[in-house]
Amino acid sequence: MTEVCKKLYIALMTFEISLAFALYFACLLIIGFLTYRRSKNGGEFVLGGRSLNFYVTALSAHASDMSSWLFMAYPASIFLFGGVQIWTAIGLLLGMFLNWQLVAPRLRRETERYAAVTLGTFFTNRFEDPHGTLRALSAPLALLFFTVYVSAGLVGMGYLFDVVLGIHPDLGMAVAMLVVIIYVTVGGFVSICWIDFFQALFLLAVIIMVPLVALMHEGGFSAIANGSSLRSLSWSLWPEQGNALVQVFLITFGWGLGYFGQTHILTKFMGIRDPAELVKSKWLGMSWQTLSLAAATLVGAAAVAYFPSSPSNPELVFVLMVKSLFHPFLAGIVLCAILAATISTIDSQIIVLVSVLAEDLYHRVLRKKAPPKEQLWASRSAVLLISVIAYLIAVLSGSTVMELVFYSWSGLGSTFGPVLLLALYDKKTNRAGAIFGMVYGGLVAALWPLVPTPITIPALIPGFLLNLPLIALVSRLSKAKKSYAS
């Protein structure tokens, strides 16, 4: 009888969590269908006609930044390695602030000036590339790194469905991907931004609440101290071994420099209605990011108190805490925050990939005179194609969320970040320099993990920091050679 009761309890718990997930997915689909008529052509589908207000711009930009990484990979790094990993959060805050400060206002003005709804078109027009070489080069690089990035989110959702509902990860990923496909296909950019806005508010509330409840359950901050003592875990910001300054630099800038090339965030800057409101967006968004990263740090610290020994998969400490702390239906609602964080990133990345396939390739190369309805259906068809490819990568890769995110983040930052900064700030940067920068950044990001080094150096360090001066140098040399030849 006891065994029967146990099975009934597990079945009831699974049903209640499943119900919470189903209600959450239903809300996403409703928002998607409500925004169906906001997209009348391909340009509006991928950028919404530049119609966003300041608060949707702010929170959708930051929500699309913080994927399941916020609930899984980052708390796991704090749980395993302690205070030194806080430099990751510091680097992200610094990088995003500079993104708002240096890139957002100019990118919004310049993309409108050059009639560009994608970075590929902006680079083509800005660098006077009549043959579309830059567009043809940026497209496969964006497809590579963004498709892997979408796969990282799917892997996180696979973990969630497996641990919480006992559903095979491949099936869980397929269910979540299907929901994303439907509302992105229906609503496009506007749908994504409003969904991300509401998800940002929801996930912030959850990630603040859970570690506080966990600490109350375990006896407060003294429990963290006791757990840290048992595991000899240090909360000092400075590494105890090796060159501390070098390690801090690599952790901080190995993440922070990547922001300048994250197109799924940059498109939110491009989509705001009034560029003058970007200042308000900046401060609202940075406040949200500061709170969410501080709370995620506290999740990792609370896990030290909550788990006397490390779980088999440390990226699941948040999920396991929630399952044991809350009633099943409430736990399901709380765990929807991981879905919110993941989906808000996946949908934004998919819309960027759609813009590459439908706008940069189909509309600009294959069918230059395609009517608006054809452009729109090309964009919607691209959603399905991209989603299937990303799902297959997630199923076959066998990598962790952190590994996939870091690879993609470094690739996008190295490939597009330096070229974009110089396109906005250096009038002497030309087509030759931009081509070199994309090729160099893409190759370094793709191949750097294979290079043996005495210490672990993130790909962004050589991929970004060396790329900036090299692009400027190649631009000036090619211009001097052209002048000499003429």
DSSP, residue by residue, 67-110: -GGGTTHHHHHHHHHGGGGHHHHHHHHHHHHHIIIIIHHHHHHH
Q: Give the pLDDT confidence of 129-175 residue by residue, as tens digits.
A: 888 888 888 888 888 888 888 888 888 788 878 877 788 888 888 88
pLDDT band at 486 (very low <50, low <70, confident <90, very high): very low
Separation between Cα atoms, residue 33 and residue 42, nearest integer Å: 17
Highest mean pLDDT out of 123-137, 263-277, 463-477:
463-477
d(CA 246, CA 249) in angstroms, rounded, equals 5
CATH architecture for segment(s) 2-480: Up-down Bundle (1.20)
The pLDDT tens digits of the residues spanning 292-349 come to: 999 999 999 999 999 888 888 888 899 889 888 888 888 888 888 887 777 777 777 7
What local confidence, expressed as pLDDT, does residue 431 receive?
Answer: 93
pLDDT one-digit tens code per residue, 76-115: 999 999 989 999 999 999 999 999 999 999 999 999 898 8
- Alpha carbon 394 to chain centroid distance? 16
Cβ neighbours of residue 384 closer than 8 Å, sequence gap 6 or more: 181, 185
The Cα 197–Cα 101 span in angstroms is 21
Partners of 52 in beta bridges: 272
Phi and psi angles of residue 272, each rounded to the nearest 5 degrees, phi first? -70, 145
Q: What was the pLDDT predicted at 392? A: 85
Give the per-residue pLDDT at 484. Answer: 47
Residue ranges covered by each domain of the chain: 2-480
Q: What is the pLDDT of residues 236-260, one digit of tens each?
A: 888 877 677 888 888 888 888 989 9
pLDDT in tens, 372-414: 666 666 767 777 787 888 888 888 876 677 778 888 889 999 9
pTM of the model: 0.84
